[in-house]
Structure 1
């Protein structure tokens, strides 16, 4: 085969590979486009069903309320009518009785007049009966102004008010007012950050939910004003769905949910090392309690070097005991059995009074004192890696880490020079007196 044919063959292979890559990229974009179309159409269908259901329920409830109000007003009319007609009926019966008596008296009087000269006793009896009836006594009939005249007072502005409220009731939004902007894996959990995308929406509270699998139900993870939350106790290498919504200021209902986002963690959770004398661990081994053991407990370390550069390590004080000058919590290069304190070489720690120790030496900068509820954070990043010198095979080089320790509203930042290269660190704590309880995440 000639050189020209080889060149053409190579170009053909490259073009075939480029076409395959091009087709693969187009297929991925087509898949993304189909997902977008399904999201639009699916959410539109769900929104239609939600609108129909809501307004059908409102219509039924309004009809029920109007029917109940009409029945109550009709009952009120019936009650007023009955109370007003009762004395009038009594008066009517009395008058009708008087009319009957008068008719009877008239007949007797006319008969007595016809019998004059024949039977004068009838005339005397009639006269006597007329005197007994008291023909000058008449029942009192109420005047019309004193008799109830029922009417209905109906406020015509109700319909206008309803029309105005109904005209602005409900709304349709092309996007939820909040969305998840970042899912960051942490040891045994995922840090979820969200943001508000509707400038006209003023959020009072946020609500974060997650679902462990497609078959499970969403469960609340956080409700509050913060725009981020660390969801812990998640199984590594397992997808979880996260969604967030918000409640507007002065409102009771929650906004629509954001588009669910899938997140996971590949990092095992931080755990204290079991079997350390003087400390009691929780079932998940992420909480350590300094027991009231009479023996002097040494430092408690993590079960593995699980602190990576670029990740935040957090200690939260759940209970506090009596402080001691040897106490502290922090990170170290290796575990040293038998040590009573982290205030030693190749370790960085913070004492309960806020003093910062680097390789056993106290810094001039201090943090606030540690109390119940305090959260102490450690962030580390590699500044420089110094190479091996003098071709010594035993020389592992050295590492400079920039360490940021935060507590409360204050931070201490410094460079920590290590005599060897490490990619992970242990964490630990040491407390002399019982009562201290520390959660790590």
Structure 2
């Protein structure tokens, strides 16, 4: 009987645990539904507000434009009227002056006819002289109606039709943005953002990526990239700090940007790559990710290493050349197991590298494969993966893409070096236990400037 009770108790406990898990899963789905509902209602509210604000601004702007055009046309009417009335006013003044002279002459003539015989001769003589002086046969010319302006307004009723046509197609509403972020990958000191087009009818000309720090104290979004590529590495991010990323696009032949994608949160746990400070012959940027070979140590070809072994297998290490100096056979960019200060080049044992001429070296030996020469604008990438990793010693743990190698054993790392539009792939034999790798560069002459990420 006790065995049956124990079995029932066990089944009851399992059922209770299953019910708890089931309730937890359902609660998570409810939270997901709440987030989805919040996104739908929140985005719909924002869309309504954007539409109202935009059309109110259009109405105000259209009213201002129409008022300005009306004022300009009325001013033209005023100017035509003023220019046309002035000569008519001048002519009227001349005629009115003549009428006044004629009235005065008539009064004098009538007075001369009424005067006595003793004064008549003098009065009539004076009147006759005055009449001759006035030139009663000279009349001013009055312009014909066809010769003076007749002001009119020409108004094209097609404007309303054109406006109706443009307004009826102005603006659009969509349930989903045309592009969405599809992947966020952490990189040393940054996040690689990849996005894709989700609207088949949309033809993008450019993409625009923005990011900002998450949380209540987060900053405003700022541009990280504008261009045609569908991925971008956002650098200079503080590790373990969440950031929000969003992307939009601009269609072919359009000037306006599409709606933003749904923001995605991402962060990096990886320490940013940094060059080692204090190496003679090199000047570093404030973030220590850019190194400039200066005029010091011209007699030597010092190697500049990373500040610590921050490159792990499974990552992509990139060197970007932003300035170049004279070539030298000792110049090199690459990775190594240790950081030997006395070396003058990475073309040595326990290192793989590429020279500025494009030659590839493995443990100091040049390969037959050749890559394009390194110059201004070149990007050189290193990718590594474990080929035949043996089980780690008892008690050892793996993960995170790090190498876990047993002492006394040989292991292969498959190395891919890319430069320009070409790459070489080879296996590098590693004969000691390593957890991470250094990176480095060496330049014999000044003028070389390299960014690492």
Q: Say whether the fold is shared (TM-score over 0.5).
A: yes
Q: Gaps spanning 5+ residues in structure 2: where?
A: 394-404
Cα deviation, residue 138, structure 1: 1.3
Q: Which residue of 2 aligns with 1:143?
A: 144
Deviates more, 1:367-376 or 1:337-346: 337-346
Cα distance change of structure 1 residues 281 and 112 upon mapping to structure 2, 3 Å threshold: closer
Q: Which residue of 1 aligns with 2:417?
A: 405
Cα distance change of structure 1 residues 134 and 303 upon mapping to structure 2, 3 Å threshold: closer
Q: Which residue of 2 aligns with 1:30?
A: 30
Q: Which residue of 2 aligns with 1:313?
A: 317
Q: Deviations over 1:33-77 (max 9, x none)?
A: 111111111111111111111111111111111111111111111
Check the 8 A contact 2:275/2:284 in 1, yes or no. yes
**Counterpart selection for 1:230 from 222, 230, 233:** 233
CA distance in 1, matches of 2:99, 2:328: 112
Deviates more, 1:244-253 or 1:4-13: 244-253
Q: Which residue of 1 aligns with 2:207?
A: 206
Q: Which residue of 1 aligns with 2:222?
A: 219
Check the 8 A contact 2:213/2:242 in 1, yes or no. yes
CA distance in 2, matches of 1:87, 1:248: 60
Q: CA RMSD in A?
A: 2.4
Q: Which residue of 2 aligns with 1:381?
A: 385
Asked if 1:84 corresponds to 2:88, the answer is no
Asked if 1:97 corresponds to 2:97, the answer is yes
Q: State the SS of the aligned residue for 1:308.
A: coil
Cα deviation, residue 115, structure 1: 5.5
Deviates more, 1:418-427 or 1:341-350: 418-427
CA distance in 1, matches of 2:311, 2:257: 38
TM-score (norm 2): 0.90
Deviates more, 1:400-409 or 1:325-334: 325-334
Cα distance change of structure 1 residues 123 and 224 upon mapping to structure 2, 3 Å threshold: same
CA distance in 2, matches of 1:118, 1:326: 139
Deviates more, 1:364-373 or 1:204-213: 204-213
Q: Deviations over 1:99-122 (max 9, x none)?
A: 333334444444555558686334
Deviates more, 1:37-46 or 1:429-438: 429-438
Check the 8 A contact 1:116/1:123 in 2, yes or no. no
Note the 1:365-380 alignment, pairs <5 A.
365-380=369-384
Q: Gaps spanning 5+ residues in structure 1: where?
A: none
CA distance in 2, matches of 1:388, 1:120: 151
Note the 1:109-258 alignment, pairs <5 A.
109-113=109-113, 120-121=120-121, 122-214=123-215, 215=217, 216-258=219-261
Q: State the SS of the aligned residue for 2:321.
A: strand
Q: Deviations over 1:221-258 (max 9, x none)?
A: 22222221111111111101111222233333322222
Q: Deviations over 1:171-227 (max 9, x none)?
A: 112222222111110001111111222233332222221112443122222222222
Deviates more, 1:217-226 or 1:184-193: 217-226
Asked if 1:436 corresponds to 2:451, the answer is no
Check the 8 A contact 2:209/2:223 in 1, yes or no. yes
CA distance in 2, matches of 1:146, 1:387: 109
CA distance in 2, matches of 1:132, 1:287: 103
TM-score (norm 1): 0.92
